[in-house]
Structure 1
């Protein structure tokens, strides 16, 4: 009887593991159905882990360059909602699909936080190599998981002039909920197992536990960081910014009265807040 129970437990565990990997760890590849309103250039960046594909949209004055980073299981089309005000204000814009998302290929079976971090760093490298981009004024705007990964980069990479996060999860618990999407799993034990498997399969468990501790990351932002979060975000609750208010060196945290996980940009003062932050914290 014990043997039967043990085998049943093993079978259920393997099934659950495969299900989570297939439906959570592997982001759905969404097609880019929308394209920029302005003239754009297709760009490619070769990495050891895959090929990043994105768009470069040039402005007339090139005051700086904004790198827009989408969230888990999203793509660059979803970030077009940020583009027009930046172009009008004189900033070049780069939007890329993170490795394993959209049109970007991945040679690895596992897409992880590391995939986001590598993609952001490689895109900053790309911008620095372009003579027609003002690489001395690189700004990063990351949505959801893209904001979390960008804050990891900003904790060590001094090339970022300012970081803006939109609806960023600040705990492993809310990262797991954000990744799971419509899959409802209790954080204990399934959510923690989900995160552990993600880090372990991504080959970064020790690094994430030692170097990428979020409570340490948010205290060590190298460049000025601004967090914007909707008060009625049910996917990544507004409580996520509490740690930024009390235990971080984020320069500013703004709560906006918007519903949903993707609608902070609809706040009337969204862009005024961002451009004022950039002006007040120009390095």
Structure 2
């Protein structure tokens, strides 16, 4: 079952879709009969639907597997209110936390199994959120940016950034991007931030991604391996593009993500049984 919801964020409204789990799994331990929560964070000038309905498909398949899933539009995107280009990465992180607040407040959510899935620029938002919020236990990065400012300027073109600085704003696909937006991107370094996260991480990237280099996946893994806590798994999908548009690549992406998430839940259950 799915339900369209709105979440208040200051004077603005975040539009979101809530996917209920098909059935409540029977588990043992202190969090028995509770369900894992997954939030999907979309990328630059994207929406909760995703290119070729990537996030819709993912949310429905995870819900069928027993997960409570929330996909949402950042301010100024999709059906949310606000202006995207007037915000920045810091605001995206704050919005992600607002959605997280809502998700954790839902009944029957397992607080030990809270996951953020971040795609592209949404990966940076997920990384920074997870590093600062201990409620996030697992992190899944799909084709995540590594250097938000340079990665997004590569997409928009340097001239568009120069125009934003010179005139106070510039137009990209109908989105009015301001210097504040670009400055916020420059303020964060996800490769440094992710080292602060002590949970488990799955990094996925396609070899034919011409938007964000597949090399970033290996850099994320290298950084994550230096931590004292938390594990990191990596999946490289041969010939997959930035949005996993091929049916075969999309199926592999979702299957890999689902199996990894199921594995985290199994590990948590085993740990709880050991504690008992």
Measured after TM superposition, the shift of residue 275 of structure 1 is 3.1
Match of 1:127 among 94, 103, 108: 103
Map 1:103-142 → 2, pairs under 5 A: 103-106=79-82, 110-142=86-118
Greater Rg by CA:
1
Q: 1:177 to 1:276 in 2, by over 3 A?
A: farther
Change (3 A) 1:65 1:200: same
2:221 to 242, 245, 250: 245
Q: Does 1:177 align with 2:154?
A: yes
- Following TM superposition, the consecutive aligned residue runs of length 4 or more in structure 1 with deviations greater than 4 angstroms are 197-200, 202-205
Give the equivalent residue in structure 2 for 1:55: 17
1:266 is aligned to: 251
- Residue matched to 1:201: 180
Residues 258, 82 of structure 1: alpha-carbon distance in 2 compared, 3 angstrom cutoff: farther
Structure 1 residue runs of 5 or longer lacking an equivalent are 1-38
Q: In structure 2, do the counterparts of structure 1 residues 244 and 107 end up closer, same or farther at CA, with 3 Å as the change threshold?
A: closer
Aligned to 2:207: 231
TM-score, with length taken from structure 1: 0.72
| Aligned twin of 1:257 | 238
Aligned counterparts of 1:44 and 1:136: Cα–Cα separation in 2 = 25
Contact 1:157 1:222 in 2 (8 A): no
CA distance in 2 between counterparts of 1:190 and 1:277 reads 46
TM-score by length of 2: 0.73
Count, aligned residues? 236
2:28 aligns to what? none
1:278 is matched with 264
Q: Report if aligned partners of 2:46, 2:77 keep a CA contact under 8 Å in 1.
A: yes
Distance 1:176 1:221, change over 3 A: farther
User: Contact 1:163 / 1:225 at 8 angstroms: preserved in 2?
Assistant: yes
Q: Structure 1 pair 225/175, CA: closer, same or farther in 2 (3 Å)?
A: farther
SS in 2 for 1:98: coil
Could you say what secondary structure the match of 2:110 adopts? coil
CA distance in 1 between partners of 2:93 and 2:72 (Å): 13
In structure 1, which of residues 152, 161, 171 is the aligned counterpart of residue 128 of structure 2? Answer: 152
RMSD: 3.3
CA distance in 2, matches of 1:260, 1:88: 26
Aligned 8 A contact 2:38 2:70 in 1 = yes
Structure 2 alignment gaps of length 5 or more: 25-33, 170-176, 272-276
1:74 to 27, 33, 46: 46
